[in-house]
Amino acid sequence: MRVIVQRVSSASVTVDHEVIGRIDHGLLLLLAVAPPDTQVEIDWLVRKLASLRIFADEAGAMNRSVLDVRGSFLVISQFTLYASTRKGTRPSFNAAAAPELAQTCYDQFVRHLATTTHLPVAQGRFGAHMQVASVNDGPVTLILDTEVKE
């Protein structure tokens, strides 16, 4: 699994002119699934995301996690994170999981994130054309990849 993590002061996702997910202070997660991903990768990623110290403490240092600040999550499926442009300028998405597997892993990830953190988890609509709006706080943007555990 590969995820872009953005610390946000607000974020929302719109489908067909309707806002279907919205958060205030928290993390916007753009999540992609690869064919070998299982519950093992989901568990690792949820633990990592819950404990990432990327929120400011009283001194302004990034020392607090989303759990510490009682933030929220907005999770968006984003298969394009596995794009390859090695052979020209049209991206190939062969490294991304097939839609059926990707949706299963995405749904499991969202459920596990909510039950593990006990924080609000909003989400986009898997496979839909979405408009995602966010106010990146910092800006703070990280890339996590379960294959390399970073």
Element (DSSP H or E) covering residue 45 = helix 39-51
Neighbours of 56 (CB within 10 A): 16
Catalytic residue among 80, 93, 115, 131: 80
- pLDDT of amino acid 131: 98
- Catalytic (active site) residue 103: no
Mean pLDDT along residues 128-148: 96
Task: Work out the average pLDDT over 14-25.
Answer: 98
Give pLDDT, residue 149.
Answer: 84
Using pLDDT thresholds of 50, 70 and 90, give the confidence band for residue 150. Answer: confident
Which member of 6, 78, 123, 146 is catalytic? 78
Over the stretch 77-132, which tens digit does the pLDDT of each residue have? Answer: 999 999 999 998 999 999 999 999 999 999 999 999 999 999 999 999 999 999 99
Q: Which amino acid is at 27?
A: L
Which of 97, 117, 118, 103 lies closest to 51 in space, CA to CA? Answer: 117
Q: Give residues with Cβ within 8 angstroms of 124, minimum separation 6.
A: 13, 15, 20, 21, 74, 75, 76, 77, 130, 132
Mean pLDDT of the chain: 96
- Model confidence over 30-59: pLDDT tens digits? 999 999 999 999 999 999 999 999 999 999
Please tell me which residue in 55, 73, 79, 109 is annotated as part of the active site.
Answer: 79
Residue 123 among the catalytic residues: no
Region 135-149: mean pLDDT is 95
How far apart, in whole angstroms, are the C-alpha atoms of residue 20 and residue 12? Answer: 8
2-145 — its CATH code?
3.50.80.10
The answer to whether the beta carbons of residues 136 and 10 sit under 8 Å apart is no
> Does the active-site annotation cover 79?
yes
Q: Where are the domains of the chain?
A: 2-145
Cβ atoms of residues 9 and 120 within 8 Å: no
Backbone CA torsion sign across 78, 25, 148, 112? negative
